[in-house]
Chains A and B, each alone.
Chain A
Amino acid sequence: MNAFWSFITERYPDILKALQEHLVLSFSAVILGTIIAVPIGILLVYSRVGWINSIVFFIANLFQTIPSLALLAILIPLLGIGMKPAILALLLYSLMPILRNTYDGFHSVDEGVLNSARGMGYSTAQTILRIQLPLSLPYIMSGIRITTVYIISWATLASLIGAGGLGQLIVSGLGVNKPEMIFIGGIGAILLALVADGLLGLLEGWLSRRYHQTRDAAI
């Protein structure tokens, strides 16, 4: 226990740096993933060609099934080592849940609401931006939340291709046989995931109340 505390007090700049790298890794992956997956999800909702949807979902699913270590290793010859390939790999993982939830969120919007929007003179873009997107935000947010938690835990592996992060503490700890280092890395990742999950959960709840008045407040 002593070794544990002395490690924290001695090495806290390193720990903070690792934490910061971890945050950058995870959140750039999630944010980029959202920027890519949400528009693709919307396109799929409006696509009239059934097989395109199947193929896109198949590919997004496929990314999920590749073991993370393998994916990271494959990216080394393509993009080298460091942050960039790590973010790309994590981004590929984040696509599926966000894509799926965007798609489902858009489909959850009541048919009557869409009919009346169209009949009153909403253009397609206006329908997407003012009706469907706000109404499916809780769904999309929940996809982002699930993804974030996964990505934070998978990001520990990114240190293997030199991207740093809390994983670096674990890998180094293994190398020099320092259990406290391994613990700090592991617990740090867990805490980060829990905090992110909690905060995003609050955001999701707020969006649900704001944009999806389905609770029965009637007399």
Chain B
Amino acid sequence: MIVLEHVNKVYDNGFHALKDINLEFKEGEITVLIGPSGCGKSTTMKLINALNTPSSGKVLIDGKNISGLNPVELRRNIGYVIQSVGLFPHMNISKNVGVVPRLKKWDKGKTDQTVNELLDMVGLDHTVYGTRYPSELSGGQQQRVGVARALAADPDIILMDEPFSALDPISREQLQDELIRLQQDLHKTIIFVTHDMDEAIKIADTIILMKDGEVVQTGKPDTILRHPANDFVRNFIGSKRLENENENIYEIPLVDEVMITNPVTSFPSRGLAEAIKMMEMKRVDSLLIVDRNKQLQGAVSIYRVLDQYGEEGKTVADVMHPVRYSVASGSTLPQAIEIMDSHQLSNLPVIDSNNRFLGLITRGSVVKHLAEVYPTMVPPLLNGEDE
């Protein structure tokens, strides 16, 4: 177990980076440190392998104050993964993974065996990748090697500093899944720094949320989501969620995307016979009446027209009924469906801010839109190699 007691960090220029930090990192758990940039999450993590030393306070690993330990020795017993991966370009993949065992002077046979096992474990066949060089691997593969390297000397503690942030979304997902899978077998004490709330929720056993060098809230992901301690936490969860929403394929469609843009319309001056002809041709049972300025005047149904058909000289303007419901451009589809549902409408015109007619939402158009969107709503399959 790792314990931070009253840790403060003040830099020479007077910047108070960490303010009285008291934390506990439980053994065999993934603890995620999260917060906006500059909140001190990385600084906090680096206290544990003495890349950073506290100005005051104690860092205890299994009850031992690490200030009494040789930092180089300490680091060899703690795995370390960073965002830029930092593989050594002049060593092949096997050599890279075997770095810490060699520093610890393991014998060659044991080192080689461990390296091969680890490469296979992170999904890189050691017979294929062992002799390659880092520049020959994709970003995702490099970070797999980075993870294998951190595990090489079988440390109890692994520090991960935004390890997946620089990867493309697919590789990132894969590596997160992989980490969760590995952790089920390995039960390491993992301290994971990120600024991505989705990542934190996905992998964390415990989340520590930080801001301006202070711990704002600590708890299980579910607890933090359900009971955010204050507005900052709420915003941090919320804003992050919204940000992701924008690039999300599940976003709520707008009426503009769903509407039919060329519904059957008619000018108000048309005669009734013409109207019937038109409805016949286009196989519809009603017409929207739109004037030359694209203003929506009303609608006529085929029953109304047939009813008045005997009176020659009448135009559709005389028999049309006003359109009572419409929806503004930019509204969401659920809003439109709500209106259609509560007023038993078979269709709903979309108009812009100048009252001009833009298109028509019909039940058919909604179904058609869903049919187009549905295939992409199935999460992409995640079994391909990230090359």
Contact = CB atoms under 8 A, between A and B. Distances in A.
A, B co-complexed: yes
Interface of A: 110-123, 126, 131, 134-135, 210-219
A113 B80 contact: no
Contacts of A112: 82-86
| Chain A CB within 10 A, most for which of B84, B89, B133, B159 | B89
B135 interface: yes
Interface of B: 49, 51, 72-77, 80, 82-90, 99-100, 103, 133-138, 146, 149, 159, 387
A134 B95 CA distance: 14
Contact of B90 (A111, A210, A215): A210
12 contacts: A112-B85, A113-B86, A115-B86, A117-B86, A117-B88, A119-B159, A120-B76, A120-B149, A121-B75, A131-B88, A212-B90, A213-B134
A119 B82 contact: yes
Contacts of B100: 120-121
Interface of A is mostly: helix
Given A135-B90, A214-B89, A111 B137 contact: no
A201 B15 CA distance: 50
Contacts of A126: 103
A101 to B, nearest CB: 18
A219 B387 contact: yes
Contact of B136 (A114, A123, A217): A217
Contacts of B87: 113, 116
Given A135-B90, A218-B138, A116 B85 contact: yes
A28 B137 CA distance: 43
A212 B84 CA distance: 18
Contact of A218 (B74, B80, B84, B137): B137
A135 B90 CA distance: 7
A110 B134 CA distance: 13
B332 to A, nearest CB: 44
Contacts of A113: 86-89
Nearest to A135: B90
B89 A120 contact: no
A14 B137 CA distance: 58
A131 B146 CA distance: 17
Contacts of A118: 51, 75
A120 B135 contact: no
B37 to A, nearest CB: 17
A120 B133 CA distance: 20
Nearest to B80: A119
Contacts of B86: 110, 112-117
Contacts of A121: 72-77, 100, 103
Q: Which of A112, A117, A121, A210 has the most CB of B within 10 A?
A: A121
A114 B80 CA distance: 13
Given A110-B86, A115-B84, A116-B84, 8 more contacts: A120-B103, A121-B74, A121-B103, A126-B103, A212-B90, A217-B133, A218-B136, A218-B137
A207 to B, nearest CB: 10
A124 B83 CA distance: 22
A211 B88 CA distance: 10
Contacts of A219: 136, 387
A129 to B, nearest CB: 12
The 4 closest A-B pairs by CB, nearest first: A116-B86, A112-B84, A121-B76, A121-B75
Contacts of B74: 121
A135 B80 CA distance: 22
A119 B49 contact: yes
Nearest to B51: A119
Given A110-B84, A115-B82, A215 B76 contact: no
Given A134-B90, A213-B135, A215-B135, A120 B84 contact: no
Given A121-B72, A122-B103, A123-B72, A218 B88 contact: no
A217 B133 CA distance: 9
